[in-house]
Structure formats: structure tokens, C-alpha cells
Amino acid sequence: MSRIGKKPVEFAADINVSSNGNVITFVKGKHSVDLDTKGNVSFTIEGNTLTFAAMSESKVHRAFWGTYRALAANVVIGLTTGYTKQLEINGVGYRAAVNGRILNLQLGFSHDINYELPDAIEASVEKNVITFKSHNKQTLGQVAAEVRSFRPPEPYKGKGVKYVEEYIVRKAGKTSKK
């Protein structure tokens, strides 16, 4: 039995949840998110609750049971409160700026990096911190990981792009012999 899968997903009255075959559609205002279960779980929508059940007692179906329940809960949280991720830029001359849907990064290369933001992502820059906001947790994590991958933090001086809550383990540099 899945402990996570057994819990119902409760959503607010302003979120419209509907199903079309194996696809669950969550709509709130101008945001719409589709969750395709691909026939791996069964679900029921009753009032303001969404419950999931395993299709069979096979190990694969039981795993999908908890997974899709967690994905649905993430969608509901994203539509009600939203998600944020913050990246910190450390290094001399390293900068970031947002111009419309383009994130301009100067990370010590001979050229600027112009990263086009997906429609679901909003970005803002304040000093050396880039803040991403979105209702879609998966897209938000993917964008943050891609921006971090342009210049990951190095272990000697800590220069690069890192998550704000990330801790960089520092290495000792070269030591001179006497």
C-alpha cells in the first residue's frame, strides 16, 4: 500500500479540475496544467478532492500510484501559491539582467549568454540573485538547473552560479614548499 497514494489531493474551489480519458486538467485563471496519467492509475474527482488508486497490485502500478498523486499535489500547490527558486551569482564581473523574455548572463566568457525563458517562468534580478517564479514545479527546476549549468560553482573560490541555499565545499589551494 502506498502511504502517499492513499492521501486524497484537496484543491480550492477556484481551481477547476476535469478529466478527459487519462488526462487530468487543472485550470485556475489564465493558468492551465495537464497531467497525463498514461493509463497507469485510476482516479476519481469528487467535489474538491481528487483520489488515486492503483490499476493492479503489480509493483509498477503501485509505484505510479504514489507518483501521480504527488505530481497532482504539486500542480495544486503551484496553482495556489506557486514555486520560487533563487540562484546566486558569485564572481568578479559576473552579472545578470532580464530583458523581456530573455535572461542575459555575463559569466566570464568572451560572449554574453542570452537564455530565452519559457512562458511559464517569470524572472527577476536583484544585485547578484536571480529569482525564478512559476506555477509549474518541473519547468522551474529545469530552467534553474540549465542556468546553473552555464557556470557551476568551482570549489576553490566559489565563483559561478549556485542555488542560494546550496553550500559549496571549499578545497585548499596549492601550498608552497619551504
User: What is the band of 2 on the pLDDT scale with cuts at 50, 70, 90?
Assistant: low
Res. 84: pLDDT tops 80 = yes
CATH class of 3-80: alpha beta
Any idea where the domains of the chain sit in the sequence?
A: 3-80, 83-163
Angle at CA of residue 157, ends 156 and 160, nearest 5°: 110
Would you state the pLDDT for residue 3? 81
Decide whether 3-80 matches 83-163 in CATH topology.
yes
| Verdict on whether the full-model pTM lies above 0.85 | yes
The model's pLDDT over 12-35, given as tens digits with 9 standing for 90+, comes to 889 999 999 999 999 998 889 999
Using DSSP's 3-state secondary structure scheme, residue 136 falls into: coil
Nearest to 9 by CA among 65, 56, 48, 54: 48
Res. 1: pLDDT tops 60 = no
What does the alpha-carbon distance between residue 78 and residue 76 come to, in Å, rounded to a whole number?
5
Q: In whole angstroms, how far apart are CA 3 and each of 10, 17, 45, 107? A: 16, 23, 19, 45
Question: What is the mean pLDDT of the segment spanning 127-148?
Answer: 96
Q: What is the DSSP letter of 109?
A: S
In DSSP notation, 57-97 reads: SSHHHHHHHHHHHHHHHHHHHHHHT-EEEEEEEESTT-EEE
83-163 CATH, one of 3.30.110.40, 3.90.930.12, 3.40.50.300, 3.20.20.60: 3.90.930.12
